[in-house]
Amino acid sequence: MRVHRVVDLSRPVGPATQPYPGDPAPALAPSSTLDGDGYRSTEVRMGSHSGTHADAPYHFLPDGARLDELPLELFTGPAVVVDATGRPDRSPVTAADLAPWRDRFRPGAVVLVRTGWAAYYGTGRYFDHPYLAGDAARLLVDSGVRTVGVDTLSPDPTPHGGHPAGDWAAHTTVLGAGGTIIENLCRLELLDFPDPWFSAFPLRLDSGDGAPVRAVALHWAAD
């Protein structure tokens, strides 16, 4: 086996990164320069949930596992891409919508919910993404799934433009089961080959609630 292709499913992290409402935009500034020091390095300031990132149970639960307490096995596994495209703004993706993929929901699987909303990244409409209904999150967790990825800012409705926050059902269900959520994925439409393998290892930040990842899908070649 060898890796035939690595598909990047991650957003760049920089001033143009679209933050969650209330979160800071990442800021990069030179801390060393070629002219002054002989080498380049950069000071980075950002929220722990910047760009494509992983949420830990500690993000929502008072005594939830911190990011570095989660087993690294959670961040890699066979991808199951659920097609949830073509939905109205702020509409739910329900357990019934997930039914066609149900046989593939099992421990170790990484379920990626593709709404197509990645196309609106950088615009106001990106906030108006579909969301994972509580019964859908419950179906995943009851099937043993502990890693859920979305091509949106959040699996729950994002409060913005007069729309209130919801009940955080998707976050609390997945994180409450000791799982992780990978947010702001992109290019999920490229996972059109057999058996894509997902990996997204988080930075080992001390904050514990979440950290950026480099999310990729590996396309294995048999030879």
Q: Helix (H, G, I), strand (E, B), or coil: what is residue 41?
A: strand
Q: Which of positions 13-72 make contact with Zn ion (CB under 5 A)?
A: 49, 55
Which run of H or of E encompasses 97?
helix 95-98
| Contact in structure between 203 and 212 (CB atoms under 8 Å) | yes
Residue nearest Zn ion (C-beta atom): 49
Our CB check for Zn ion shows the closer of 55 and 128 to be: 55
Our CB check for Zn ion shows the closer of 67 and 140 to be: 67
171 near Zn ion, judged by CB under 5 A: no
Our CB check for Zn ion shows the closer of 143 and 207 to be: 207
Our CB check for Zn ion shows the closer of 134 and 210 to be: 210
Could you give the CA distance from residue 172 to residue 50 in angstroms, rounded to a whole number? Answer: 20
| Contact in structure between 135 and 155 (CB atoms under 8 Å) | no
Q: Which of positions 184-213 make contact with Zn ion (CB under 5 A)?
A: 210
β partners of residue 206: none
| Contact in structure between 132 and 150 (CB atoms under 8 Å) | yes
Task: Using CB under 5 A, count the residues that bind Zn ion.
Answer: 4
Return residues touching Zn ion (CB under 5 A): 49, 55, 183, 210
